[in-house]
Structure 1
Amino acid sequence: MTKKSPENYRARVTAALAGGYVADVASLGLHWLYDSHRIRDVGGDSPEFLPPRADYFKDVFGFFAHDGKNIGDMSHYGTATRVLTDSLLAGRGELDIRDYQRRFVNCFGPGGRWQGFIDNPTRGTLNNLVAAEQKAIDIAYSSIETELTEKQKRVLVQKVMPYARRLSGDELATPVREAINLTYQDPRIQDAGVVLAETIDRHLTLASGADDMQLPAVSKLPPLVACYAGQNNLLEQVEAAVRVTNHNDEAVAWGRCAARLLESLFLGASLSEAMNTAIQEAPDQKILATAIADNPLDAIKAGDTFGRTCYLQEAMPVIFHIISRAQSYTEAIRANIQCGGDSCGRAWLIGPAMAAIHGVGHPLGMPLSWLARVTDAAGIFADVEVLVAYHGRD
């Protein structure tokens, strides 16, 4: 594989990450509608950027999940990808799992900015993080030798947890001590609070995900691959990120497959080379080989053959079929929507892959007008540009 110039890399990957958001937004209106005939009736040849409406789903199989969303809004997949992007931006292109977990909770948990559907992996991850936090607190209490009243224990937890959720190691002691000093000037209580914080820090889990094999395992990966493409530790970082939301070995394997596909395309490999490299990481190589066999693009048939749901063993062959057979970004996005089912989840590999291959603004690439359909496009794409610029920096 030939790694091309940084300028070519940045242009290609900037287009790819933007292509993920555009594909997600374009698919939202008919997301989780499983009836291909209804999709054709509603969307015709151009089913993209439709407003989410419950009446599309009337009397056919599907799940209307996006009440209150508008044209241009992203799904929970796009929002989760933006959470990981924000964390990578904070780390200047480096993955910090604890920071990612904190941002995930702050977005999808109680009081978070996300308003909308919560899928099973997200719900399970939030529950696991709460349980792991309480377990760490219980372990920490057992390690404190200082006698504390029940009130003091409650106050120390309240003082400590905001720092334990965002700091680690040597960063903890000083701010924790300062926070406790506002209420308790007794050095023994302050020492107990520091022990509490440091013990909690050591026992918080990095593998917080649900035991789940659905698309959230891979849909968030494009920005991570953008930061680590071509580096020896890419797959290590991919596994760590996948296990935040999907603590499942098969989900990790599909994550490695998706990452190798994106990495190859981001670095300028041919589509066939990228496909072959990715398939080597797949837990089911045969099903992907079948999906990319020499036949015309037929996303509806692919859905009939492999499945349309959120599970990776169904979604990945449909994704590979569309990427391998579509001749343009627009054709791929429309085919994905027309297939039905979890189109938004699949969009996060199809969109970046097709935009990496075909770019932006010419007949085979992502239409410029589609970029403008994304809500908060200026902010999202500015963050994409900054993130991609971190790649390859010392």
Structure 2
Amino acid sequence: MFDHKKATELVLTSLVADTYSLGPHWIYDAKELDALDIDWQQLNDAKAKWHEGKHAGDFTHYGDQTLWLYEFLQDKNHFDVGEYIAFWQIKMATYKGYIDGAMKGTLENIQAGITPTGSSSTDTSIVGRIAPLLLVSDSRQGFLENVVLFVSSTHNADEIIAPATFFADLLVEVLSGKDVVQAISQLKPQYNTNIQRYVEQGIRSSSDDTIDAIREFGPACGIEGGFPSIIHLLTKYDKLEDMLIANAKAGGDTSGRAMIAAIIFMAPSTRTINDIPSAWLRLNTTLL
């Protein structure tokens, strides 16, 4: 159902969004953000201690795990969550990057024989890693089912699974030709009251300053702040570069917001890799 070339471009888009967001990722203090030694037009070394040793073109642990999923699916025509989590566990055994709460909790559940294996994390970041699943999904319903299986393998909480399904639904709508803002409004009534509230908050903020809006919603990792922030980004901007720069300057979980906003933003057929600044395509990977 999904065009392979476009799907691959969206995987690349998610990785670009992650590596661009690396510089200010997990820096929250406004004064510290303002004083960062960062060129906002370029990729930058990580400035936060959690990503010490990560350089311009590297990924946060979100991008690293997106690459793992992409790599896992290369010789597959469907998504087997059991095989994937075994592959993920092998990768984790030698991983040198930051290991967050979701990763730790998932490893503990695997050791305890708990299924689904996912932690109770409600971090936004997992949603931004779904693009590779387009490559092995033959229908809208198949994609949504794969998203739920994938999300619950590391983030098994209703509070994140429902939002992940919404954004997956939105991605499919935009890929099929729907306008982003129109699709958001049409999908909203089909989801629970929390999601409806997040959508309304994001839309209402579309004329607000992005830094102010994201800090008002909450710039941390949780979906309760991330969801309306993503809606804000999608309803405010018509240029990818402007959207990702403004998002990065807001600090906090910059990548968690950026990855999902970017793949939805780039889903229309009229948007291509040429819309990504060439300076941002210098990724430290040869996988794509």
Once the two structures are superposed, residues 203-222 of structure 1 have per-residue CA deviations (whole angstroms, 9 ceiling, x without a partner) of: xx541011121124312212
Aligned pair 1:131/2:131, yes or no? no
- Provide Cα deviations, 1:226-265, integer angstroms capped at 9, x if missing partner: 5437432332222111110011112111110121122222
Question: Does structure 2 conserve the Cα–Cα contact (< 8 Å) formed by 1:260 and 1:274?
Answer: no
RMSD: 2.2
Residue 330 of structure 1, CA deviation: 0.3
Contact 1:261 1:277 in 2 (8 A): no
Identify which of 374, 382, 393 aligns with 2:283.
374
CA spacing shift, 1:83–1:281, aligned 2, 3 Å: farther
Q: Please list every run of 5 or more consecutive structure 1 residues that lacks an aligned counterpart in the other structure.
A: 55-63, 133-204, 382-394
The structure whose Rg is larger is: 1
Question: What TM-score do you get using the length of structure 2 for normalisation?
Answer: 0.90
Aligned with 2:26: secondary structure? coil
Count residues in correspondence.
284
Partner residue of 2:232? Answer: 321
Q: 1:77 to 1:325 in 2, by over 3 A?
A: same
1:229/1:221 Cα in 2 relative to 1: closer, same or farther (>3 Å)?
A: farther
Cα gap change, 1:226 to 1:353, in 2 (>3 Å): farther
**Does 2:23 match 1:29?**
yes
Q: Which segments of structure 1 move beyond 6 Å, counting only runs of 4 or more?
A: none
Q: Is the 8 A contact 1:330 1:366 kept in 2?
A: yes
Candidates 356, 360, 369, aligned match of 2:273: 360
| Structure 2 residues without counterparts, runs of 5 or longer | none
Distance 1:213 1:294 in 2: 23
User: Within 1, Cα distance between the matches of 2:184 and 2:243?
Assistant: 16
- Give the fraction of aligned pairs with identical amino acids, expressed as a percent: 27
Aligned pairs (5 A) from 1:73-112: 73-92=58-77, 94-108=78-92, 110=93, 112=94
Contact kept in structure 1, 2:206 and 2:235, CA below 8 Å:
no
Q: Secondary structure at the match of 2:267?
A: helix
Distance 2:157 2:145 in 1: 15
Task: Confirm or deny: 8 A CA contact 2:38 2:44 kept in the other structure.
Answer: no
Q: Distance in 1 between matches of 2:36 and 2:208?
A: 21
Q: Which amino acid aligns with 2:46?
A: P
CA displacement at 1:10 relative to structure 2: 4.1
Q: Give, in whole Å, the separation in 2 of the partners of 1:208 and 1:278.
A: 29
For the residue of structure 2 that corresponds to 1:65, the secondary structure is helix
Q: Report the Cα distance in structure 2 between the residues aligned to 1:278 and 1:28, rounded to whole angstroms.
A: 31
**Cα gap change, 1:335/1:70 in structure 2, threshold over 3 Å: closer, same or farther?**
same
Which of 33, 36, 39 aligns to 2:33? It is 39
